[in-house]
Structure 1
């Protein structure tokens, strides 16, 4: 079954056409600021591409309504629109891409896969904020978590790499890209994660601050007379590594740190402190650690980050082999022989997770009532 995967980010639109064996037949990345979401431009781009059997869309937020992939129809599209308030920076881009592709392929089934769905199995103790109940009820305030498609694929792939049953493993998955989040995965299910009600919570990221004292936000409002919008914009776009080192690009930061740049050295230390503390917290949620997974741009390509993180986590039994950590296949085991915890690197392939979910739903849910959102999210193998 041929699948067109549509992955709309905040600044780009990624298209991948996968054949029935998950081989990429065609691919394209379009910057959003150059009309990447425009139907005419898409029509020109897709000319000559084979027609897919199904289109799989990455949708950032499923709220409390969508607990797994769903076939998109009119009512579902309306419900997705209603969730924009929960993800105002990302959801509109996902829906713009959905509308553009649907306009070109109105007769092709479309499936939505959600970044939040993998984390719907988090128990109440981990998902609940200690804020007034009327807030939680009225605004559906809870820890949603994000990067779920990446975490779902990375954990499943790590079990395959190690030839171990996923159901038996305690895994911490580290998605280290421009956005950063961790997931605690027990028996294949997410039981905790670092991002929360928004993608701003959690670890230090490229341009996002990660978790900070909420009292600081109140203090800034009072003493700097900043509006909520100004504070939000700063924490989202001008914080994190960018605020510490002048760039969010870890490659540039590492190069500067090697030359002794104090700002870059501090940025690396803050990033690693945040990362190691987060991994330790996630391992508490899984009651121990069997596998540590690195994925995403930094997770896949920064041997330094992996090495220094492992050094800080040695007390948990984490140790990496110097040679395999430095280079090797995109997907590989980099564990040192003496390590208690196995550490692996997995290439981020959200497209494979989305394609698998689209095929699963099309094969198994034809004719099923789309109002049933409470079923167990499928875990394609």
Structure 2
């Protein structure tokens, strides 16, 4: 019988899910629940064996949504009772200093995940709620929290420490935690096999660029730096986030625009980035605007690429060289224009694209640099669900986590 893991990603008003086959690594079924708790009808989408099933109805809370999801599995397949499910894995953005590794879901760990919502208010609360609900709905299946920040818990002190007053930083747990760690770890682990180079000593930069965007520098698969910080706001330009910005902009807007903390939070996290500069957060729309001659869109793309190239230069210097540059996530995997612009700016350092390979659409891991490029450039699709599934299955098989929590039916 196949062994599977149900991976849950709960947002404030949405739930993404995928049933992952551990042997093949494939998603057997997947779906999306949207508009939870909103006054309009919510939306369900369930996909299995090429068939899409959609439903619109009010969704009052996450419990109602997840109950319906289990019903969709029962109605349209695969039936979870016969699917060989060994664990439910829950993606959590912020584990802080509390969770350097995955953890079994119980009352204690749920409480700690909720406490860490001060570092990720949009994410941790709903993620804890999703785990609570699934634990009640599937009490005989081990539930596991897998944290996006865990991979970057290994960062060197000089990379994770802010030059902030020491007492304040310690009291309020302020440091670089990073995000997208599950993706960065997964990509970093498969790069050596794709490029045909040994993992030991390999200096690589992973660019996870989608609506959210982050960069990591890794040596031998161990992170040495990453662009997101205390929260996912820091670093690269994103769909709705500013990325790096002078913190004094906050003081300036409080004093002169009289904005509140919540208004600033919304401005920086949702109304800035590509959205703030052009009205659109989707890179495909940016390209469309550029083709129409829109100057704001041209500038937005230039700023976007400028920031990425700056991080590549910084990380290359910090590592003392660069062997592999990998693009992943929505933009990284699908946008040949962004990849070309980034790599052309790196031409003085010996980076050379194979233009035909870069322009070829594919869902397969591939090398897009020319044979004589001094740095290997790759495109590798990320698979956070598979990574979460594997970590969850390992803990389920062990029956306990590294914190002493034991699963009991």
TM tier, smaller: over 0.9
Cα pair 1:10 1:93 within 8 Å, conserved: yes
Q: Deviations over 1:304-343 (max 9, x none)?
A: 0000000111233322111111114322111112211111
1:228 aligns with 2:231: no
Aligned to 2:5: 3
Aligned to 1:377: none
Cα pair 1:59 1:94 within 8 Å, conserved: yes
1:347 aligns with 2:381: yes
Cα pair 2:21 2:27 within 8 Å, conserved: yes
Aligned to 2:340: 307
Could you tell me which of 14, 21, 24 is aligned with 2:16? 14
Per-residue deviation, 1:258: 2.2
Per-residue deviation, 1:371: 4.1
Aligned to 2:371: 337
CA distance in structure 2 between the partners assigned to 1:98 and 1:62 by the alignment: 15
Aligned to 2:71: 44
Could you tell me which of 287, 290, 296 is aligned with 2:323? 290
Q: What is the SS of the residue equivalent to 2:320?
A: coil
Aligned to 1:30: 33
1:186 aligns with 2:219: yes
Aligned residues: 371
CA distance in structure 1 between the partners assigned to 2:373 and 2:13 by the alignment: 40
Over 3 Å counting, the alpha-carbon distance change for 1:336 and 1:72 in structure 2 is same
CA distance in structure 1 between the partners assigned to 2:35 and 2:182 by the alignment: 22
Over 3 Å counting, the alpha-carbon distance change for 1:11 and 1:310 in structure 2 is farther
Per-residue deviation, 1:215: 1.1
Over 3 Å counting, the alpha-carbon distance change for 1:89 and 1:301 in structure 2 is same
Mark the runs of 5 or more structure 1 residues left unpaired by the alignment. 373-381
Misfit runs of 4+, over 6 Å: none
Q: Structure 1 stretch 219-228 or stretch 298-307: which is displaced more?
A: 219-228
Per-residue deviation, 1:96: 2.1
Q: Structure 1 stretch 251-260 or stretch 112-121: which is displaced more?
A: 251-260
Cα pair 2:175 2:229 within 8 Å, conserved: yes
Aligned to 2:90: 57
Cα pair 1:42 1:101 within 8 Å, conserved: no
CA distance in structure 2 between the partners assigned to 1:247 and 1:369 by the alignment: 43
Aligned to 2:395: 361
Superposition CA RMSD, Å: 1.7
Scaled by the length of structure 1, what TM-score is found? 0.93
Could you tell me which of 116, 122, 137 is aligned with 1:104? 137
CA distance in structure 1 between the partners assigned to 2:80 and 2:304 by the alignment: 43
Cα pair 1:13 1:32 within 8 Å, conserved: no
Q: What is the SS of the residue equivalent to 2:101?
A: coil
Per-residue deviation, 1:348: 1.9
Q: What is the SS of the residue equivalent to 1:53?
A: strand
CA distance in structure 2 between the partners assigned to 1:25 and 1:304 by the alignment: 32
CA distance in structure 2 between the partners assigned to 1:237 and 1:93 by the alignment: 18
Cα pair 2:351 2:373 within 8 Å, conserved: yes
CA distance in structure 2 between the partners assigned to 1:196 and 1:312 by the alignment: 26
Aligned to 1:131: 164
Relative CO higher for 1 or 2, CA cutoff 8 Å, sep ≥ 6? Answer: 1
Aligned to 1:216: 249
Cα pair 2:206 2:217 within 8 Å, conserved: yes
